[in-house]
Structure 1
Amino acid sequence: MHLHWRLLGLCLGINAATAVSLVSEPGDVAIIPSWDIQSSEIIGTDLEALSRPGVDTTTWHEVDSSRCTLMGCLIQAGVYRENGLFYSNALQNFNSSQFKVPWIYRKEFALEPSAGQYFHIRTHGINSGADIFVNGKDIVTKEFQSGAYVGGSYDITGVAKDQNALVVRVYPTDYNYDFALGFVDWNPYPPDNGTGVWRDVEVKQTGPVALGPLRVTTQVGLPIENSSAFVGLKATATNLEDREVTVELRGTISLEGGDQSYDLNQTVTIPPLETAELDLSTAINGPAIWWPRQWGGQPLYLGQLSISVDGSVSDKVEQTFGIRQVTSGLNLHNDTIFYVNGFPFQVSGAGYSADMFLRWDTAKFTTQAKLMLDLGLNTVRLEGKNEHPELYEIADRLGLMVLPGWECCDKWEAWTYNEDLAVKSEWTAADYTIANRSMYHEALMQQAHPSVLGYLVGSDYWPDDTAAEMYYYSLKAADWQGPIIASASERGYPAVLGPSGLKMAGPYDWVPPNYWYDVDPAEDRLGAAFGFGSELGAGVGTPEIGSLKKFLSESDLEDLWRNPDKGLYHMSTSVSSFYDRKIYNDGLWNRYGVPSSLDDYLLKAQIMDYEATRSQFEGFSALWSAERPATGLIYWMLNNAWPSLHWNLFDYYLHPAGSYFGAKVGARIEHVAYDYNGKLVYLINHSLDRKGLRSVVVDVIDKNGKTLYSNSTVVETEPNASKDILDLTEALGSITDVAFLRLVLLNDKKTVLSRNVYWLATTIDTLDWENSDWFYTPVTEYANFTALSNLPAAKISITLATPRSHQYEAAKSISVVVENHSKVPAFFIRLNLVDEDGGDVLPVVWSDNYITLWPNEKLKLQVEGKGGAAVQVSGGNIKKAKIYL
């Protein structure tokens, strides 16, 4: 046998005798690092033979990735190119028939079996189900390894050898019949429907006793400033031998980068082939408290648990965690409000989408999370796209809250009372089992992370009583300590959980900026700024030209402005209410005038997008302290699964545009905002510690720069609160066509905390609330901003305030001064950092952008982005220019 393997190794160019074992000691966990994949149509279905070492895989696709769906794998292997797949409507003609049969994932690896050592294959979810073989032996079938979130640990000790072959056969996924990760109308379905090993498969080595995942419980007293904490380390231990085993249990808790450390010990006896629940706990005086980024720091602890048998380590597990308290409750209006460390926490967030082919990119998500924080957002919602452990680890360290949950519109919500499904495959007994195992696995993965705000066990619909009880007790079995919420809507609720306190009443398509402030009567005002809106927005997020040219053809670009009602492949699916931009374009055409070119259309689109997101985030922020508070909003959406023409705060390529900078203004931690309906000015404070006197400067000018109103007032700001401070009804009474309103907030040292410019018409848009649909409210009379197309020309300059020696090679911040040298306002100035070839610098962070300058006003802006060579400048009434750095 050894000679056979040596000869085989030489044939394959590998010395099998010197192959490094994937794991080498008890407690080691190794990820299967790469795969060879192939269709069963080509290689057959004899898994017993395919899972024996030495199979020739030279005709297979070699994939240098530990986890990927079939499409993700084939892109990584160079079979397809993303740019080609995403260009125009190329994906529409893709031949997906190759994915109607099972595919095989295969990998060989070395181990060092010996007496008293045990080996396990661990899964964390395979779409839609899988048969797993090792060394010619059946380990598990798809009847048990089924569901995108089902994890399992399978003992392979009896078949483990020096050289091993692992085979995973994956079955085609159907969103209507399988517990998978679907996309509904966000984008076209991927050709493979997400089939494959989308999460890591691991090999673990243990001694005679194995540990399950480490669960961490924390209890912290209030008030948080004078708190103590009680921390528990828990795990399930399994005796793998047919003899009684006594284990020495050792736990440690230590503060990362600090001197707090706690050692815990215990001795436990476990009967043959039985399990035992282990629990070590201790009190911590003066713990380091974890906070959301806007409220404080993110100290993390490391919990470690190890067990020894006869003086030798048998297994070990560890988990980072934070000490904090998250709760939720219903207020007097039956709206959910969250509390973090005892303080009311207004959720200001957006809905995340996984990549269309479920490709995980740690660096990209880190950038996305940092962009969210730059926006001033505090929460990301995951609707069924629960992703990987890295997402929660990144959120923990950055201080971004996460609200995960199950998805809508497919098998996950195939309830008898759900009439929205085109195909309703109602749950069987086996389905409840899969869903239950899914819940337990996700709960174990997420429960220790301080960034997790709660879990939504339903999205558009609530789970039935059987599923809800199952979910609830699985979460509790995993030591879940956060809120458990029935669904993201208020349609109904299960007995075990009660009302969700969240609303999902739209909008999802364009509505005017005054929509959010029109809150009475609440029963007719749908998504307006009261209560907790779990997914809502004005359907905006138009990419700029640099991104558009990456995925649209010339004819596609022409359609944007020449055919305003045409269905567009890069909107939503053809059967969706969002397949075209008709509602959006009706607003643009009527409010800003018929576009004269693609450039003109994109300028007006960015203006529309900016005012839409700004007003939404401002509306909810302004009414945080209202009689019926706006307790939270999740903007629909944060990002796109593929290059899209709507529903984002930054585009697929991470380029920020109008929707980004409107939201960034609207979500500032200290802010002054204008209420279009009441003509009121609101003072907003999202902090916990900023207080004292503030100055609010209000100026109104007409399109020629003539002053119509000017005022300065001193008010006192209160932490975590909002209030109206001024009524501008009289001040705005003299507008004849368009005017500009500037609100500036300064602290007691005259430092500008917020600067905000609005363009206002003589009237606001008239909403037809009685004829609202589930995704928008019609407008019967539009505000008239066409005068903005005929503004007097303004002359501006862009100068570099940072020495040229500090260029972008290290992505350092550069100061850019923008100055208006005219007696008229310079409207909607767009700045775009580009490289030497004229391409967008990505990622990029601007302190502010898409700005409007008062006559003779100048602003200093900061920009960060590696490789910048010039700044492109354009706007409403200025000449295009390119300023070299």
Structure 2
Amino acid sequence: MRMKGFIAIISLAVGSQGAAAAALVSSPGETAAIPAWDLQSTVKAGTDLEVLSRPGLSTLSWNHVRKPKCTLIGCLIEAGVYNETELFYSDNLRRVDQNQFSVPWIYRSEFSLEPGPGKHFSLQTHGISSRADIFLNGKRVVSSSEQAGSYVGRTYDITTIVNKANALAIQVHPTDYYRDLAIGWVDWNPWPADNGTGVWRDIEIKQTGAVRLEPLRVVTQLGTPIGRKPASVTVKARAVNHENSPITITAACIIASVSGEQRSVGSNKTLTLPPRFITDITLDAVVENPSIWWPRQWGDQPLYVANLTITTNGSLLDCATSEFGFRTVTRTLNSYNDTTYFINGHPFQVIGAGYAPDMFLRWSAAKWEAELQYVLDLGFNTVRLEGKNEHPALYSVADRLGIMLMAGWECCDKWEAWSYNNDLAVPTPIWTDADYATANLSMLHEAAMLQPHPSVLTYLIGSDYWPDERATALYLSAFRALDWQTPITPSASSRGFSPQTGPSGMKMDGPYDWVPPNYWYDAATDGSHLGAAAGFNSELSSGVGTPELPSLRKFLSPSDLAALWRQPNASLFHMSRDPSTFQTRTIYNAALWARWGPPTSLDDYLIKAQIMDYEATRAQVEAYTALWGTGTGSTDSDATRPATGMIYWMLNNAWPGLHWNLWDYYMRPAGAYYGAKTAAGRKENVVFDYVRRAVWVVNRSLDRQGKRSVEVEVLRPRDGRVLFKEVVTVGSTRPNTSQKVASLDGVLGNVTVSEEVVFLRLVLLSDDGEGDKEVLSRNVYWVARGLDELDWESSEWYVTPVSEYADYTALNKLPIARVSAIAMVDGKDVAVTLENQSGHPAFFVSLNLVDSEGRDVLPLMWEDNYVTLWPKERITLRAKAVGGRKWEPAAVHVVGKNVGKSTVRVRRK
């Protein structure tokens, strides 16, 4: 049915004058999104919505969009008016005419229905930015004073308006981030010229009988011990009787596992609804042997489906379905007033990052799937959505993959226009009664959309600032009305809180620009060392994420590329919004120039940048995992305040950017990605603490324990001479803990007296007691004679200055290493065997898979990359495609800091 409707809509878009033959929806309980749009500015189309919403209007001169949802610019890209590649190249985005978006635009579509006795139709919105007038068949459905707010979803009864042939016209009004409760960008990137105006979520038509159901809520109660006792399930949905007469209905609920492994259970009841009556339908059931949902880090993700139907005299009126999982999430504040989350009773250290949607809010389910596969590959367990709540498909994929989500509102614009917020970039009007009403409707809609999903960890009702008392009360009331079961967090910072919620237990003290590796380990229990690894940090990083050259060439001009390494203080369009603290790479480049020496070419700059990015992300993530302890109180005397959570800033970019990402816009992972993966991608890891010069063993599992050993080896880079070697025996590792197992202070202090830089290799091995050992992790560090010295007293919100830099310039003089490579297709993977044939190390060797045209094969995941090989060492690294896509790998590019570039053909067995 939907495909026929889609074809019909497209025929209208190119000028057909008749209504579609096939109905968009045709049976009770069926819902379909408007599949395509004709789009035009009111400068050309006018504003007479009564005329524009009548069937048969010619739209031959309009823009035709074969998408169900897109903002104005997103639609114009789809219609061929703009080309994304050209828009994002150099500073071309500056040249988009903003004035064209200062007037309303019209989204228009024609579709067929089959109205008749007993049939009811509704139009459902899920967010239009930022306000809209909606007309159908020449009649007003709602005005922009009511359909206001980018997250406001409402349902309108259109039964008396619909015909067999229908025309829908939506007039969207320009969005102002400082006046509207919209979807803003702060300083993440330049603002789109349309400010995200448009139909960015689906507009749906639903057909029902006399009674309509609103979204299904699922309330679970697990018996203890979890998974060994029955679980109770309560299914709730609001029912609306559209008729002027009473009706007796039978409500029936079936609950079954999605996998089909567990038989279904159900319940039903009969009740009579008075005319025009609205009530909640509630049904209960018991699942005897519930399968428990876990984050992927700890277990499986069994899902259940609840299906509620309402009938009268055996005829279906409506139905509602939700997938859910059996799990519990709670939140506590420890003795340091830091938040710790618990999942199914176990303390859960959040290791995650902040998500950015597409700059033009274009939605791709396939890209989201690939992005979450990357999250799992990194070993991260959480994604924060700061004011970027997306679409239901996003939450469903997270449910299936086992990734936790921290949803919530955004900072720095109308969402936080409180009298006590002095950080707003421009004076923003304080909330009016209409704003509170919009915020309330927004919360009700988003809570309903999120409520059943087991991937939801929490909802943050504030970001940098907590909402005022009136807004807090509205938010909390909305959550109660929607049977919310996960923690509600007042904000992502420690600036303040409402007595209605209590403190957030989170801090947001930066940094957002480059800091050295030892920054993260220099934690102070009193919080004076800002973002260092203690407590729960809601957003912070060294601001790295430099794309590799093939990606850079897609969006930087030759002069832009030259500026990267020739002008270290240059203002760069692809860094941040103008004006912003982050328009340049000045702080980053000062460290690169001082620590690694001035770059001699673009290639030299980029490999030094990848080393910096790798080192920065690895140190940040490792420090948080190492200083976790048990999450409720460390087992180590040097870290009595545990690091309970961390959101890396950021996961990805909304456009081709030069920082704040773990993979670039084109989905290519680089140094930042593999540094983070080295730190979090193994359930058991061995970590070097720069400040204490200590070795930590980290166990992020719930089920691994036993004897472990750590091989420690210190190497002189210039000739490969072993300066120190030792095996450290670890009595036993315990699940979900970290522990310090050795100090290398004396060792490294002695060898660095005579050496400027040394390589340190740590290898964690399991020990089954019978002589068999398995390598659980392998890490190589470059350790300078002295640490970067931090000036903590001069810290800003975005960075802590460095008063003296560590010196790694000796690694520029490494002799060339001879590395052989053999690449083979092995099943669905590509396996590359590297062998260092030299007597000295091969430093920071990277692999990149390309097709027969020399283009990057993406998205893909290497099990490891940017590796350092010991003399004569051989390792095999495997790459696999993401998302089951078909790929044709032809060759592998190999290069390293002291390894010349080479191209190796991929062989097939």
TM-score scaled by length of structure 1: 0.97
The 8 Å contact of residues 151 and 441 in structure 1, kept in 2 or not, is answered as yes
Alignment of 1:762-801 (within 5 A): 762-800=785-823
The 8 Å contact of residues 490 and 501 in structure 2, kept in 1 or not, is answered as yes
C-alpha separation in 2, matches of 1:46 and 1:18 = 24
In the alignment, which residue of structure 1 is the partner of 2:591? Answer: 587
Alignment of 1:21-420 (within 5 A): 21-257=23-259, 258-420=261-423
Q: Which amino acid aligns with 2:857?
A: V
Find the partner of 2:725 among 704, 710, 714: 710
* Farther-moved stretch of structure 1 (705-714 vs 55-64): 705-714
Q: Which amino acid aligns with 2:697?
A: L
Q: Does 1:622 align with 2:622?
A: no
Alignment of 1:855-866 (within 5 A): 855-865=871-881, 866=887
Q: Does 1:478 align with 2:482?
A: yes
In the alignment, which residue of structure 2 is the partner of 1:882? Answer: 903
C-alpha separation in 1, matches of 2:460 and 2:800 = 27
C-alpha separation in 2, matches of 1:707 and 1:772 = 39
Find the partner of 2:471 among 464, 467, 474: 467
Question: Secondary structure at the residue paired with 2:73?
Answer: helix
In the alignment, which residue of structure 1 is the partner of 2:637? Answer: none
Structure 1 residues 17 and 822, CA gap change in structure 2 (3 angstroms): closer
The 8 Å contact of residues 696 and 745 in structure 1, kept in 2 or not, is answered as yes
Measured against aligned partners, the alpha-carbon deviations of 1:166-189 in whole angstroms (never above 9, x if no partner) come to 110000000000111100111000
C-alpha deviation, 1:223, in angstroms: 2.9
The 8 Å contact of residues 13 and 37 in structure 2, kept in 1 or not, is answered as no
C-alpha deviation, 1:17, in angstroms: 7.8
Q: Does 1:829 align with 2:829?
A: no
The 8 Å contact of residues 17 and 56 in structure 2, kept in 1 or not, is answered as no
Question: Secondary structure at the residue paired with 2:271?
Answer: strand
The 8 Å contact of residues 567 and 580 in structure 1, kept in 2 or not, is answered as yes
The 8 Å contact of residues 127 and 195 in structure 1, kept in 2 or not, is answered as yes
C-alpha deviation, 1:523, in angstroms: 2.9
In the alignment, which residue of structure 2 is the partner of 1:817? Answer: 833
Alignment of 1:426-441 (within 5 A): 426-441=430-445
Find the partner of 1:509 among 507, 513, 519: 513
C-alpha separation in 2, matches of 1:800 and 1:118 = 62
The 8 Å contact of residues 17 and 57 in structure 2, kept in 1 or not, is answered as no
Measured against aligned partners, the alpha-carbon deviations of 1:780-803 in whole angstroms (never above 9, x if no partner) come to 010000001001221111113556
Question: Secondary structure at the residue paired with 1:879?
Answer: strand
Measured against aligned partners, the alpha-carbon deviations of 1:421-444 in whole angstroms (never above 9, x if no partner) come to 122211000100000000000000
Find the partner of 1:747 among 759, 766, 774: 766
The 8 Å contact of residues 823 and 892 in structure 2, kept in 1 or not, is answered as no
The 8 Å contact of residues 513 and 612 in structure 1, kept in 2 or not, is answered as yes
The 8 Å contact of residues 19 and 111 in structure 2, kept in 1 or not, is answered as no
Q: Does 1:456 align with 2:460?
A: yes
* Farther-moved stretch of structure 1 (635-644 vs 419-428): 419-428
In the alignment, which residue of structure 1 is the partner of 2:448? Answer: 444
Measured against aligned partners, the alpha-carbon deviations of 1:356-377 in whole angstroms (never above 9, x if no partner) come to 0000000001000000000000
The 8 Å contact of residues 249 and 272 in structure 2, kept in 1 or not, is answered as yes
Question: Secondary structure at the residue paired with 1:549?
Answer: helix
Measured against aligned partners, the alpha-carbon deviations of 1:53-73 in whole angstroms (never above 9, x if no partner) come to 000100010100000000000
Structure 1 residues 53 and 329, CA gap change in structure 2 (3 angstroms): same
C-alpha separation in 2, matches of 1:477 and 1:150 = 16
In the alignment, which residue of structure 2 is the partner of 1:3? Answer: none
C-alpha separation in 2, matches of 1:753 and 1:724 = 17
C-alpha deviation, 1:13, in angstroms: 8.0
Q: Does 1:493 align with 2:497?
A: yes
Question: Secondary structure at the residue paired with 2:456?
Answer: coil
Measured against aligned partners, the alpha-carbon deviations of 1:753-792 in whole angstroms (never above 9, x if no partner) come to 1110000100010000000000000000100000010012
C-alpha deviation, 1:18, in angstroms: 7.1
C-alpha separation in 2, matches of 1:867 and 1:333 = 53
In the alignment, which residue of structure 2 is the partner of 1:809? Answer: none
The 8 Å contact of residues 218 and 230 in structure 1, kept in 2 or not, is answered as yes
C-alpha separation in 1, matches of 2:873 and 2:84 = 45
Question: Secondary structure at the residue paired with 1:157?
Answer: coil
C-alpha deviation, 1:694, in angstroms: 1.3
Q: Does 1:695 align with 2:713?
A: no
Identical aligned residues as a percent: 55
Q: Which amino acid aligns with 2:777?
A: S
Q: Which amino acid aligns with 1:800?
A: A
C-alpha separation in 2, matches of 1:189 and 1:286 = 51
C-alpha separation in 1, matches of 2:202 and 2:536 = 35
C-alpha separation in 1, matches of 2:598 and 2:794 = 26
The 8 Å contact of residues 565 and 581 in structure 1, kept in 2 or not, is answered as yes
Q: Does 1:604 align with 2:597?
A: no
TM-score scaled by length of structure 2: 0.95
Q: Which runs of 5+ in 1 are unaligned?
A: 1-5, 807-811
C-alpha separation in 1, matches of 2:272 and 2:596 = 76
C-alpha deviation, 1:12, in angstroms: 8.2
C-alpha deviation, 1:225, in angstroms: 4.2
Structure 1 residues 123 and 796, CA gap change in structure 2 (3 angstroms): same
CA RMSD of aligned residues (A): 1.4
C-alpha separation in 2, matches of 1:496 and 1:17 = 54
Q: Which runs of 5+ in 2 are unaligned?
A: 1-7, 635-639, 882-886
In the alignment, which residue of structure 2 is the partner of 1:676? Answer: 690
The 8 Å contact of residues 223 and 342 in structure 1, kept in 2 or not, is answered as no
Q: Which amino acid aligns with 1:390?
A: A
The 8 Å contact of residues 222 and 341 in structure 1, kept in 2 or not, is answered as no
C-alpha separation in 2, matches of 1:12 and 1:226 = 60
In the alignment, which residue of structure 1 is the partner of 2:884? Answer: none
Find the partner of 1:685 among 671, 683, 699: 699
Q: Which amino acid aligns with 1:432?
A: Y
C-alpha deviation, 1:863, in angstroms: 0.8
C-alpha deviation, 1:840, in angstroms: 1.0
Q: Which amino acid aligns with 1:710?
A: K
C-alpha deviation, 1:310, in angstroms: 2.8
The 8 Å contact of residues 13 and 59 in structure 2, kept in 1 or not, is answered as no
In the alignment, which residue of structure 1 is the partner of 2:653? Answer: 640
In the alignment, which residue of structure 2 is the partner of 1:568? Answer: 572
Question: Secondary structure at the residue paired with 2:106?
Answer: strand
Number of residues of Structure 1 aligned to a counterpart in Structure 2: 871
Question: Secondary structure at the residue paired with 2:758?
Answer: strand
C-alpha deviation, 1:815, in angstroms: 1.4
C-alpha deviation, 1:222, in angstroms: 3.3
Measured against aligned partners, the alpha-carbon deviations of 1:725-778 in whole angstroms (never above 9, x if no partner) come to 000011112122110000011112422111100001000100000000000000
Question: Secondary structure at the residue paired with 1:158?
Answer: coil
The 8 Å contact of residues 409 and 462 in structure 2, kept in 1 or not, is answered as yes
Q: Which amino acid aligns with 2:898?
A: N
The 8 Å contact of residues 490 and 500 in structure 1, kept in 2 or not, is answered as yes
Question: Secondary structure at the residue paired with 1:371?
Answer: helix
Measured against aligned partners, the alpha-carbon deviations of 1:467-506 in whole angstroms (never above 9, x if no partner) come to 0111011011111100000000000001110100011000
